Amino acid sequence: MLNMWRKTSAWLMMSVLFAFLLLVGCAPGGGTEETDSEGTEEDTSSEETSDSGESGEISGELEIQYFVGGYGDSWWKEVIGDFQEEYPDVTVTEHAGPNINEEMRSRWVSDDPPDVVYIDGAGSSETQMVEDGQLMNLSDWVSGIELEDGSPLSESFIVEPSTYNGDIYSLPLVFDTWGTWYDNAWFEENGWEVPTDFPSFMDTMNQIKEDEGIEPFVTTGQYPYYFLRGVLYPAFGAAGGDKLLNDVITGKEGAWTSEPVLNVMKKVEQMQQEGLIDSGFGALNHTQSQMNFLLHDNAFIPVGFWLPNEMANDTPEDFEYGFVPSPMQDEGDPYAIVPDLRPLAIAEKAENPEAAKAFVEFVFTREYAKSFSEHTGAIMNLQGVDLASSEEVPPFLIEANKMINDPEQVQIYQKPHPMSSELETPISNSLVSLMLGNITAEEFVEEAEQAAAEYRSSLE
């Protein structure tokens, strides 16, 4: 078990008393949900009372909701197990699985949410949860959290937390970024150029189409936000900086019909017109599109860092993952990256807020950040974590990490917060129509602008 004891003055003054209490206190509870191989959950309940005790000790039932996708759940199991050992008077109930966001929706709607929620996966939206008043304002509390070396957590993030009118409602746990993946071994075998900008991207895709007789680019049409976040966001950043990216995400008037956005969408239209986008992508879910990519039915796919971990059991032995930020920028410009943060939050109506805060604070350490990369092949959102010292961190992640931190190769653009699902859904629908050739780039931006206008009206 990682040694993660918090060293505050209160613990120092009462260490002897607490040690005694821990020895005679309740054993760690077993009220957890087990996820079977089909991703379904079987609820168990705790008889513990959900409170933190009159004397301030952390106790009672703590409910944690977390999505299980490409990152798996082994890291969560490790952290939760360690937390229960350090806080034996807390009974942790896990709500986890690939469909957990839908399964827990009724709990959130009925104002009976779990205490802690990891916001990730289909059916989740941090911005929507903030707009609906479901998340606790953490602005004041987070300023007092320290890492194991005493450094303030608020000064240790790679990317700062999202803010809503200046307030913080979640802490960014995972630093992921979307990019374009390819099989490096296949590319070297055929002498194909790894693209460095949009012109070379088009050249390479056309060469692959000619050599292999395939449509080289694939994505999921069932979840078109993969393309929106993985290809368009960095393209908007490269075309207009943080301001343009902010404007399209928040639905600012005129943003979607602006010249820089239209120019980006004309690039997408060009990809479709030249037959470079898989014509069957509209029917594919994310795992089907990823499987086609691994089988060389396609050569490029936009996904986040979780791809190799999610597809580990299906990856051919001779397949060598290669990653570049999506090359949609003009010739001569550096790659563009938009971090895709996966946050941890506390419910506004949490029944055990003190235990929830203890868990969130427990998670944010550099030791668990290194462990996260070892378990998942992705990066936790903390500075100063030495990934190269671990033999368990995959080589592609170490190389990608070097690239991302080289300002001569990569420019990082930051979005203010995730796009609201009320705006993302209609824009995604129009995006699929564009990529199938059913509408033009000009028609797309008009539809997106109308969706933005309706979104702004919904906020009034």
Domain coordinates in residue numbering, the chain: 9-174+341-380, 179-337+420-459
Q: pLDDT for 42-58, tens place per residue?
A: 333 333 333 443 335 89
Q: pLDDT for 139-193, tens place per residue?
A: 999 999 999 889 999 999 988 999 999 999 999 999 888 999 999 999 999 999 9
Q: Cα(130)–Cα(137) distance, rounded to whole angstroms? A: 9
Same fold, 9-174+341-380 and 179-337+420-459: yes
Eight-state DSSP code of residue 33: P
pLDDT at residue 360 tops 70: yes
Alpha carbon 318 to its chain's center: 28
Q: Could you name the CATH architecture of 179-337+420-459?
A: 3-Layer(aba) Sandwich (3.40)
Instruction: Give the model's pLDDT for residue 81.
Output: 97
Burial code (b: 16+ CB inside 10 Å, e: under 16) for 108-142 equals beeeebbbbbbbbbeebbbbbbbbeebbbebeebb
Instruction: Give the model's pLDDT for residue 332.
Output: 93
Domain 9-174+341-380 falls in which CATH fold? D-Maltodextrin-Binding Protein; domain 2 (3.40.190)
What dihedral do alpha carbons 130, 117, 287, 436 form, nearest 10°?
Answer: 0
Instruction: Give the model's pLDDT for residue 44.
Output: 35
pTM over 0.75: no
